[in-house]
Amino acid sequence: MSGNDSATTIDIVCLGEAMGQFVPDDGPLEDATTFSLGQAGAESNVAIATARLGVRSAWVSRLGDDAVGERLLKALAEESVDTSAVVRDQEHPTGIFLKDPSGLSRKVSYYRKGSAASRMDRGDVDRALALRPAFMHLSGITSALSDSCDDAIEYALESAAALGITTSFDVNYRPVLWSDQNRASARLSALADKSDIVFVGLDEAEILWGAADADAAAAHLSGAGRVVVKNGAESATVHSPAGRWEVPALSVDVVESVGAGDAFAAGWLGGMIHGVDDRMRLRCGHLMARTALTSLSDHGERIAWDALLADAADPAIWVRR
């Protein structure tokens, strides 16, 4: 794995909100009578998926001192994710959301206002950094939760840079969380430019910055060391100091799309931590995204690193049909 193992105790720490996820078991949300309760949240999704790839992963946040929070901690522990720096809040609840299975379209109802995670601040960042990670993963969702969260994300990026920790930032633009699109455009761009690695969907880049293609999106985010642009079912592209790589997406019968972007980021980051090159990281990202796209869960079927690497290296899988 990359990084100085003698100086780090964690390969990657992910900082952000996790929520209880309710998914109907018997049809659309409006008609369902039974539900399953699981765990979700962009950063905790990445922590789980990278842990499954044999990476030493940690997740840092705040949870309510409630049953949902306890359940999330147990779910993360079962996936071998370090949660030692998570704080329990006795005054604010754990957020929840409801998924409505809907294929490629997103139908999600969030109940996160005033959540424990929205109270995160620089102290949470300091606890994450105290784990001595080689990588830190963040997202634009956290920036939109509150002023203290927004400040914490910028502080995290600046502090990690000072400590030599590689940062990754998933733009993860969620219009419902931002009161003003222009503010979101400027803020997410500024945070991305402070990051070593940026993940962005081409659809997001078009809305936020008017980017017509992957090259335009990467040009707008030229302050970042590497820019990974995801173009849905078409392809993914990485722009890095070593050059530009593009890998076509896999053909997938989509069950539900929420969580696929997190899975992609986890595959790409897992590949980087394991030491494979940019093109192989893109392939790992596509393969991990496929596991999420074919499941009602954000996480999908478990796949070990050796199996993922074998599929990433198999030329037959990557012939565009």
Active site members: 262
**Token pair recorded at residue 321:** 């049909």
Name beta bridge partners: 136: 13, 167
The CA distance from 197 to 173, in Å, is: 16
Contact partners, residue 310, CB within 8 Å, separation at least 6: none
Sheet holding 35-40, edge to edge: 35-40, 19-24, 96-99, 108-111
Q: Is the dihedral of CA 288, 253, 229, 320 positive or negative?
A: positive
Q: Is the dihedral of CA 199, 204, 210, 216 positive or negative?
A: positive
Length of the chain: 321
